[in-house]
Chains A and B, each alone.
Chain A
Amino acid sequence: MLEFHLKKNLVVATGAVQLSVDLVVAQNEFVTLFGESGAGKTILLRMIAGLTQPDEGMISVGDEVWFDSRKKINLPTQRRSIGFVFQDYSLFPHMTVVENLRFASCPLSCRAGQRAKDADAARIRDLLKTAGLLGLQDRRPHQLSGGQNQRVAILRAVLRQPKLLLLDEPFSALDMDMRLQFQEEVFQIHKKFGITTIFVSHHIAEVFRLSDRVAIIEGGRIARSGPPSQVFGERRLSGKFTFTGEVVEIVPDGVVNILTILVGNNLVRTVATDDEARDIRPGEKVVVSSKAFNPVVFKI
């Protein structure tokens, strides 16, 4: 379990803001921090990672205290069990894929014995295989696509099986197809390793797809939080006829597309224009909303 209560005075474009956020995240939970740019989401991640010092507060993971301003505890980044993926993946350019991973698992200062090194090599091989990157292990970052670079970055982040995975807009540099594929991989990695994950995004579709819970940050505070369907579906939109469902099929027909969506156990169909349907793929979660004034009701 991750728990933090953090305060930090920030100077942003609109003036001074006090960031004051309290959050408890269950083990294995996937929580998204959502808000406009400059809301303080990245600073929060940096404070959890130990890259930025909070003005006051505490951070604990399980029974370990990482930061406590009163007790003057402040664990350095390397002693916090975290994996971090930023928007720009920043692999070491002079190292190959496998060297980048090896370095993350055992930096130059590491004096692990041969047996530990062999175990690491086997694990790296395993991960590369899972991610379909085995054939690229001897390439350098500039010989890889953006998506491949980002996949290596996430493998690097989970290599040491951290207690906490911090993702700061890791998909934003990718094109739409790559984005969807990579989201799926991140989701699988999160599930497979059971790593508590904090994700920063302002892209509603991916927040829906990935998060157990979303916390909206406004004016330096958590304005509201809950499952995405509740936070985005019911509260933001005035439609009272709002459901979440999974897209089963998209069939183009003239100037529109017919979407078949599974809502609970019922298949519903609706019409969407090309613009609306462009970012949606079968298998994705969507919100279906209509005005409450439109449906007709029959007694059965």
Chain B
Amino acid sequence: MNILRGTIVDIESSQAVSLVCIDVDGDQFTALILEGRKGPVNYPQGVRVDLIFKETEVAIAKGISGLISVRNRFPGRIQQIESGQVLTKIRLDYRAKAVSAIISTPTAIGMNLKQDDKIEWLVKASDISLMRVG
């Protein structure tokens, strides 16, 4: 799993769902959690959290333009590509932190991904879990 540590900076809650903004070394991430203003307040502002998301939930993009509904979109550089018959694991350097993606091998070949390529990686807010630190 991918783990990034950050601090909660903002929360927008409805009855049962909250959009939580987390600052990770200057980048703003958004996580959607099933906890509204009525639920137990486990994730108040200022709290340190780990953002957890699976490698299979990370998408890789090259030279995309236009609008996209995925809120979490950050730069990265490919460090290593490990290809299986069906799946390929891509290790990324994201501002000196490690993030990995697992995508299909035909897609990796089709996009002509290579070591040292500068790419963007994306993860949907609803795919990020939060875990309180400590």
**Chain A interfacial positions (CB closer than 8 Å to B):** 36, 218, 235-240, 253-256, 271, 273, 276, 289, 291-294
Bound: A218/B82 CA distance, A: 41
| Interface-located stretch among B62-70, B71-79, B110-118, B123-131 | B123-131
Distance of A252 from chain B, by nearest CB (Å): 10
Partner pick for A235 among B34, B42, B54, B83, CB 8 A cutoff = B42
List 15 additional contacts besides A238-B31, A238-B131, A254-B85; criterion CB under 8 Å: A235-B42, A236-B131, A237-B52, A237-B129, A238-B33, A238-B42, A240-B34, A240-B35, A253-B84, A255-B82, A255-B84, A255-B102, A256-B84, A291-B126, A293-B32
Distance of A254 from chain B, by nearest CB (Å): 2
Is B87 located at the chain interface by the 8 A CB criterion? yes
Known contacts A237-B129, A238-B35, A291-B127; A271 and B56 CB within 8 A of each other:
yes
Distance of B42 from chain A, by nearest CB (Å): 7
**Chain B interfacial positions (CB closer than 8 Å to A):** 1, 31-35, 42-43, 52, 54-56, 82-89, 100, 102, 126-132, 134
B87 pairs with A254, CB closer than 8 A = yes
A-B contact pairs, 30 of them (CB 8 A): A36-B134, A235-B42, A236-B132, A237-B52, A237-B131, A238-B34, A238-B42, A238-B43, A238-B131, A253-B84, A254-B84, A254-B85, A255-B82, A255-B83, A255-B89, A255-B102, A256-B84, A256-B102, A271-B54, A271-B56, A273-B55, A273-B89, A273-B100, A289-B129, A291-B128, A291-B129, A292-B34, A293-B34, A293-B126, A294-B127
Bound: A218/B134 CA distance, A: 8
**Taking CB as reference atom, which chain B residue is nearest A235?**
B42
Which residues of the other chain, A, contact B134 by a CB distance below 8 angstroms? 36, 218
Bound: A271/B84 CA distance, A: 14
Distance of A275 from chain B, by nearest CB (Å): 8
Distance of B126 from chain A, by nearest CB (Å): 4
Which residues of the other chain, A, contact B129 by a CB distance below 8 angstroms? 237-239, 289, 291
Bound: A254/B132 CA distance, A: 33
Bound: A166/B88 CA distance, A: 47
**Taking CB as reference atom, which chain A residue is nearest B52?**
A237
Bound: A255/B108 CA distance, A: 14
Bound: A2/B123 CA distance, A: 49
**Taking CB as reference atom, which chain B residue is nearest A256?**
B87
Bound: A82/B35 CA distance, A: 45
Bound: A254/B56 CA distance, A: 14
B87 pairs with A255, CB closer than 8 A = yes
B34 pairs with A276, CB closer than 8 A = no
Which residues of the other chain, A, contact B86 by a CB distance below 8 angstroms? 254
Which residues of the other chain, A, contact B56 by a CB distance below 8 angstroms? 271
**Taking CB as reference atom, which chain B residue is nearest A292?**
B34
Q: Which of A218, A238, A271 has the most CB of B within 10 A?
A: A238
Bound: A253/B129 CA distance, A: 26
